[in-house]
A = this chain, B = another copy of it.
Amino acid sequence: MGARPSRPTRPSIREQVQRMREEAIVTAVNRLLATKGYDAMTVDEVAAESGMAKASLYKLFASKEELAGAAMVAVLDRALAFVDALRARAETAAAAGTPVSARAQLEAVTRWAMQTQLEGEMPSLPAHNSSLSASLQSNDDYMDRLLSLSNRLSIWITEAQTRGQLQAAFPPEMVLYTLFARACDPVVALLKDSGQYTHAQIIDWVMASTFQGLGAATAR
């Protein structure tokens, strides 16, 4: 409507404001999903926390499920950025003659995921919600990022397995699930809620349990 052919699309003030509002909403959803979970989160809370009316919020996101999707996309983007930074660092390290092992990369990502959870910034969705998971699986933005992340981690997993850094008897798929599961590990949450331990301590313990197991080293 009212097309002005030669005017290049430059971000108008209004568009920038919308962008900021969207970010505020996604941040609020992220926090609420991390603290209360999807079912307990109400759209009214999201509107209140992001400082706008619910109706305005629904102009930007068509449904509560889409809100959850946007938060998941955001956290996957952060994970992908972290992974890409790791890859870049590994490349320069390899060029300098001090290569980084695939296992070390996987450990770094796992630490990042637990750190994010401990800081209350890891959104968690219910495992069993058919409506929500159907919505996510038909969300291309979400699925693209999930597959990208899975692919990059799978490369490291198979490399670590062939180099003897990870138990090769496990299907790579299972290793991937196990690492993903650390992002919403109830053990981390319970240790945190007990209030007795530092974040660093919790991460070290769960890392050890994940990669070396609960068994004593001597019992091998």
Residues of A in contact with B (beta carbons under 8 Å apart): 35-37, 39-40, 103, 124, 126-130, 161, 164-171, 173-175, 177-178, 180-181, 184-187, 189-191, 194, 197, 205-206, 208-220
Contacts and interface: CB of A to CB of B under 8 A. Distances in A.
A166 B211 contact: no
A177 B190 contact: yes
14 contacts: A36-B128, A39-B129, A40-B128, A164-B216, A166-B214, A167-B209, A167-B212, A168-B216, A178-B214, A208-B213, A211-B215, A212-B212, A212-B215, A217-B220
A187 B215 CA distance: 20
Given A37-B128, A170-B205, A213-B213, A218 B177 contact: no
Contacts of A191: 173-174, 177
Contact of A177 (B128, B166, B167, B186): B186
Contacts of A37: 126-129
A165 B216 contact: yes
Contacts of A189: 127
A160 B76 CA distance: 40
A187 B173 CA distance: 10
A130 B163 CA distance: 46
Nearest to A201: B171
Contacts of A103: 215, 219
Contacts of A168: 216
A40 B128 CA distance: 8
